[in-house]
Each structure stands twice: as structure tokens, then as C-alpha cells.
């Protein structure tokens, strides 16, 4: 068994970086965890859905999971669930 696996081919790392750039992570966000000014705009919702890039930067907040997936795809990203 290999315990310290490492890619020798730098193209693998480049491919992984390119793939990550194309992914959008969709995650449920509790409104109470958002800044006050964002909570005020949530219109009484308890939960929203965030769309995040591979670095964890939130790109958008939406009212539904399905809308988050559509939004990601419309912007050339492949959405995946994040927990």
C-alpha cells in the first residue's frame, strides 16, 4: 500500500486545477449566519443556497437549490453539491 502518494506528472495537477475552475459548489446557507444587511434582504427565508468557486469564494446566493444549479450552468460552471 502506498501511504504518501504524489503525482509526478505536472500535467495531472494542471488538469485538476482546470477542472476545479469549472466547478461550482452549491451549499445550503442559514440566513442567520449571514451579515445583518444580507439577512434583511432574505425576505423572511430561513435558508438560502450559495454558489461557491473552487477557492470557497461565494459567487451568488439564491432562494432555491435548483436555481443555484441553473445559475451555475448559465455561467459555464458545472454545479455539484457541497456539504
Report the pLDDT value the prediction gives residue 11, as an integer from 0 to 100. 53
Nearest to 33 by CA among 48, 51, 52, 54: 48
For 61, the domain range is 23-81
Report the pLDDT value the prediction gives residue 15, as an integer from 0 to 100. 46
Report the pLDDT value the prediction gives residue 10, as an integer from 0 to 100. 55
Q: Is 47 exposed, middle or buried (0-12, 13-18, 19+ CB in 10 A)?
A: middle
| Number of domains into which the chain is organized | 1
Q: Is residue 49 part of a domain?
A: yes
Q: Is residue 15 part of a domain?
A: no
Q: Is residue 69 part of a domain?
A: yes
Q: Is residue 2 part of a domain?
A: no
Tens place of pLDDT per residue across the chain (83 aa): 444 444 455 554 554 445 557 899 999 999 999 999 899 889 889 999 999 998 899 999 999 999 999 999 999 999 999 87
Determine the Cα angle at 46 with ends 77 and 76, to 5°: 5
Report the pLDDT value the prediction gives residue 21, as an integer from 0 to 100. 72
Amino acid at each position: 500500500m502506498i501511504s504518501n502518494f504524489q503525482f509526478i506528472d505536472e500535467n495531472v495537477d494542471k488538469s485538476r486545477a482546470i477542472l476545479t475552475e469549472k466547478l461550482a459548489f452549491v451549499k445550503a446557507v442559514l440566513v442567520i449566519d449571514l451579515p445583518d444587511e444580507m439577512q434583511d434582504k432574505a425576505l423572511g427565508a430561513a435558508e438560502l443556497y450559495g454558489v461557491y468557486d473552487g477557492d470557497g469564494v461565494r459567487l451568488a446566493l439564491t432562494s432555491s437549490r435548483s436555481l443555484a444549479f441553473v445559475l451555475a450552468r448559465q455561467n459555464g460552471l458545472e454545479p455539484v453539491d457541497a456539504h
